[in-house]
């Protein structure tokens, strides 16, 4: 995921040699009680060992012994609107970011706001998920972890994304339609009742439940914190299996 630049190696070498040379000067002076001798030894040593340290660092950059490659992955949240996908995806994204990983978040609402002409017909949804899935796979191939949250109601679209990605972790956020309607955080179900939205997943358009997701979360009976910990365990399990 990361590599040492030459500048970083130089700065590390200077920092290390300052303290190491100061220690050498103090030790030589302690044994000889001659400040000129101590300073001369320190002067010669600082340049000799800085050069040695630099080439030592660059050589080890090319050696893979003991170096563990962390496989990127695509963590794909799917489920009804109001099930908790976006909330959990945001929590996991922030957690991975905090740990220093290269990670990007792809959210259905955010992407639709950028491409507002994307419709809700089956064909529009198919094309939308395929485009996003392709983007996720490109990010993954470039060493970036991806956290994606999309209703993605159709199995064939999710299967398409899975085939595009090397490491695809499907998380089915399972909450009943009744619970999602009560939550209705974005007011979408209310607009459906008013006839303002058509072809809405779970109401007048089907949601095809995943056959064999890597993880299923029952967010209508467990807390967000419990679901969050389950996802973290799934990610930890994936990382450990890739060691």
Q: Is residue 109 part of a domain?
A: yes
Give residue-wise pLDDT tens across range 113-155: 887 777 778 898 999 999 999 999 999 999 999 999 999 999 9
Residues 19 and 138 occupy one common structural domain: no
**Residues with active-site annotation:** 152
Q: Is residue 1 part of a domain?
A: no
CATH classification at residue 175: 3.40.50.300
Write out the H or E segment, with its range, that includes residue 217.
Answer: strand 215-218
Residues 48 and 99 occupy one common structural domain: no
Structure tokens at 140: 């993954």
Mean pLDDT, the chain, rounded, equals 89
**Over residues 31-43, mean pLDDT:** 86
Q: Is residue 118 part of a domain?
A: yes
Q: How far apart are CA 207 and CA 91, in angstroms?
A: 25
Residues 56 and 83 occupy one common structural domain: no
Residues 114 and 145 occupy one common structural domain: yes
Q: Quote the domain boundaries for residue 46.
A: 6-61
Residues 24 and 125 occupy one common structural domain: no
Residues 44 and 111 occupy one common structural domain: no
Number of domains in the chain: 2
Q: What is the pLDDT of residue 79?
A: 97
Q: What is the pLDDT of residue 121?
A: 84
Q: Is residue 68 part of a domain?
A: no
Of 96, 86, 98, 193, nearest to 150 (Cα)?
86
Residues 155 and 51 occupy one common structural domain: no
**Over residues 188-203, mean pLDDT:** 92
- Burial state string for 190-207 with b = 16 or more CB within 10 A and e = fewer than 16: eebeeeeeeebbbbebeb
Residues 16 and 86 occupy one common structural domain: no
Residues 55 and 108 occupy one common structural domain: no
Residues 79 and 175 occupy one common structural domain: yes
**Partner residues linked to 201 by β-bridges:** 205
Residues 35 and 81 occupy one common structural domain: no
Of 98, 95, 103, nearest to 70 (Cα)?
103
């Amino acid at each position: 995921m990361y590599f040492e630049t030459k500048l970083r190696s130089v700065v590390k070498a200077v920092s290390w040699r300052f303290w190491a040379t100061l220690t050498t000067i103090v030790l030589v002076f302690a044994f000889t009680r001659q400040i000129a001798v101590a300073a001369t030894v320190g002067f010669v040593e600082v340049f000799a060992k800085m050069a040695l340290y630099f080439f030592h660092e660059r050589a080890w950059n090319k050696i893979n012994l003991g170096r563990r490659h962390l496989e990127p992955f695509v963590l794909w949240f799917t489920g009804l609107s109001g099930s908790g996908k976006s909330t959990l995806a945001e929590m996991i994204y922030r957690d991975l970011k905090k740990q220093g990983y290269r990670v990007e978040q792809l959210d259905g609402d955010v992407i639709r706001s950028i491409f507002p002409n994307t419709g809700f017909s089956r064909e529009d949804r198919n094309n939308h998920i395929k485009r996003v899935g392709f983007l996720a796979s490109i990010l993954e191939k470039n060493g970036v972890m991806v956290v994606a949250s999309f209703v993605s109601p159709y199995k064939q679209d999710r299967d398409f994304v899975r085939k595009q990605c090397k490491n695809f972790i499907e998380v089915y956020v399972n909450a009943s339609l009744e619970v999602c309607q009560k939550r209705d955080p974005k007011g979408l179900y209310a607009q459906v009742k008013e006839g303002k939205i058509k072809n809405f997943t779970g109401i007048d358009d089907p949601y095809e439940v995943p056959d064999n997701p890597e993880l299923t979360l029952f967010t209508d009976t467990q807390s967000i914190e419990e679901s969050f910990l389950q996802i973290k365990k799934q990610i930890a399990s994936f990382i450990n299996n890739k060691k």
